Structure 1
Amino acid sequence: MSEGAASKITPTSNPFPFTHHSLFVPPHHPLKVLTFPPPPPGPNVDQSPLFHHPQLPPPPGLLHVLMSAEKCQELVWGTKISQLESSASESSSGLSMSSPGLPLAQLSPTLPPPLPLTPTWEMLQETTARLLFMAVRWVRCLAPFQTLSKNDQLLLLQESWKELFLLHLAQWSVPWDLSAVLDCNQARERLPNDVHTATEIKTIQEIMCRFRQISPDGSECGCMKAIILFTPETSGLCDVQPVEMLQDQAQCILGDYVRMRYPRQPTRFGRLLLLVPSLRAIRSMTVELLFFKETIGEIPITQLLGDMYYMEKCATGTQ
């Protein structure tokens, strides 16, 4: 090509209408939205698991077990003692008792508490024998207690029977005034005439008075009995750990219950716990001579407790 022809080629005369920028840009085409038909309906599939395990209710807690035992005792005690109190109230200058056989905490809050009734010595002896049976039956109603070995069950009962009995006496004789009957001639004749025994009698009277002032309800009484029964310091136990765990659990339940039920009584929990060492300060011999000498005679109380406990096991059909 000659220089003259080359000079005639100008950019405007380019036969290919493309620039260097348009060489790598693809032409624009709008994308089509691809739609797929819905899948055909499949068979109905059960979403429930192949093996269905029903939800079982949780096992009852210790407080529920204790309250069940307390409710059972209310029914037994209400029928056993009502005849004694009704006959005594008729002969006590027109003194009437409301809700016989129930502690003050179970009475209606709209009614004033009944006046104290002074029982006779014969009434006290018959009542204490039944209270001992009730204490053994209360122990038999505790399912956690039955999980312990037979040896530990009997040892714990023999170790705590005195405290359990005195606590039952304080709980179920609230409408009674025991100070006079504990100072009567029949009581003095059955006890040694020494300072230690006199101090123990005074301690029993103070326990009854303090119990009347605090007026524990059924839940508190049940927890206190459990604290007394499950004593890990009992010598000869085969397995101390479950006993200690049950005592700690009963004490925690009592503390939580008192704080929730009686928020305006911050010292109530401590006052309840202080009853336990007072109960343990009394010798078993003193309780035995004072309350059971006429009913059991010379039979050792430990032997009687074993017979009563296993008799209750046969009556309930347990092993």
Structure 2
Amino acid sequence: MPAEKFGKCPCETHDAKSILYQILDKECGSEHQRQQHHHSVHRSTGKKVCSCADRRRVVLKTPEATCRRASEVLLKTLTFIRNLPSFYHVPWEDQLVLLQQNWAPLFVLGMAQQGVDFDLREISAPSLLKKILLNQSLTDCNELGSSSLGASLAEVEKMKNLLWKFWDLDISAKEYAYLKGIILFDSGCHVLKCLPYVQILQQEAQQALMEFTSTVFHRNLGRFTWIIQLIASLQDISADAVEELFFRPILGKATLNALLLETLSIRSDWL
């Protein structure tokens, strides 16, 4: 299915299957075959998505298989953090802030590194008119309106586009490692107790990435600049959308945040 079909506004098409797409063959073989498939089948179009995509909700088409792969990616992400002594050298309050702020972009980056793609299906929420015609109480309507119904299609499209951009760049394992350090030690607008130390760690990761790309790509810093721009886009990914899409089918009403804190042995009594 052409990329232009994905996310097309319902008011522009009557094709009931236009919201469904298959990007990767489930039996895709080697790493090289996967990357070739990425390049040939789908690329980010850069087109502005219809505003109704904010209201459209999607869930995984194959939740059992995709959630299992997503869980593996999350485990590898947490293992990376656990193996960084520098992370545990900062106060636990700073660890908490860095984890809560950056786990989602780190997870999406892990999805890119592991080549995890996923198919979606759209779900529809009952309209207010339908609720009224069915004589549902106002309380019932409010509960339905506030309940979770999948992830925002617009947010998922942003995530998908970023994945393809990383795959197009064919990021190496070393580059991914440096990128994880840059993202993990991104302090953002938060005030940290050990802010100078965290900033130094991020600068060191950026410097290592720049030196690596400069050496491997013959002092061409264009690649470094493009990768840094992708990192900025990763920070815009909605953590709620990531949790809703990949982990809600597993967690139910539980929150992923508590699981992350427990896994990394970060004190939760500060919450």
Query: Match for 1:139: what amino acid?
Result: I
Superposition deviation, residue 190 in structure 1: 3.9
Please, which of 204, 207, 213 is the counterpart of residue 252 of structure 1?
207
Query: Match for 1:248: what amino acid?
Result: Q
2:244 matched residue in structure 1: 289
Instruction: Determine whether 1:310 maps to 2:265.
Output: yes
Closer/same/farther in 2, CA of residues 263 and 112 from structure 1, 3 Å limit: farther
CA contact (8 A) 2:150 2:244 kept: yes
CA distance in 1, matches of 2:83, 2:160: 29
CA contact (8 A) 2:28 2:34 kept: no
CA distance in 2, matches of 1:166, 1:150: 24
1:280 matched residue in structure 2: 235
1:298 matched residue in structure 2: 253
The sequence identity of aligned pairs, in percent, is 25
CA distance in 2, matches of 1:227, 1:289: 25
Greater C-alpha radius of gyration: 1
Secondary structure, in 3 states, of the residue corresponding to 1:161?
A: helix
Please, which of 141, 158, 163 is the counterpart of residue 105 of structure 2?
163
1:214-253 alignment runs, 5 A limit: 214-233=169-188, 235-253=190-208
Secondary structure, in 3 states, of the residue corresponding to 1:184?
A: strand
Please, which of 87, 94, 97 is the counterpart of residue 29 of structure 2?
97
Instruction: Determine whether 1:208 maps to 2:125.
Output: no
Closer/same/farther in 2, CA of residues 236 and 300 from structure 1, 3 Å limit: farther
Query: Match for 1:285: what amino acid?
Result: D
Cα RMSD, aligned residues only: 3.0
Please, which of 181, 184, 191 is the counterpart of residue 150 of structure 2?
191
CA distance in 2, matches of 1:186, 1:153: 37
Q: Summarize deviations over 1:26-63 as a string: whole Å, max 9, x none.
A: xxxxxxxxxxxxxxxxxxxxxxxxxxxxxxxxxxxxxx
TM-score (structure 1 length as normaliser): 0.56
Superposition deviation, residue 235 in structure 1: 2.5
Closer/same/farther in 2, CA of residues 236 and 261 from structure 1, 3 Å limit: same
Superposition deviation, residue 155 in structure 1: 2.0
Superposition deviation, residue 161 in structure 1: 0.4
Superposition deviation, residue 122 in structure 1: 1.8
Superposition deviation, residue 168 in structure 1: 0.3
CA contact (8 A) 2:213 2:223 kept: yes
Q: Summarize deviations over 1:248-299 as a string: whole Å, max 9, x none.
A: 1111111111010112754211111111121111211111111110111222
CA contact (8 A) 2:185 2:202 kept: yes
TM-score (structure 2 length as normaliser): 0.66
Listed as ranges, the gaps of 5+ residues in structure 1 are 1-87, 99-103, 312-319
Listed as ranges, the gaps of 5+ residues in structure 2 are 1-23, 42-60, 126-147, 267-271
Q: Summarize deviations over 1:183-224 as a string: whole Å, max 9, x none.
A: 3247999425xxxx3322211111111111001111111111
Superposition deviation, residue 96 in structure 1: 5.4
| Higher RCO (CA 8 Å, separation ≥ 6 residues) | 2
1:136 matched residue in structure 2: 78
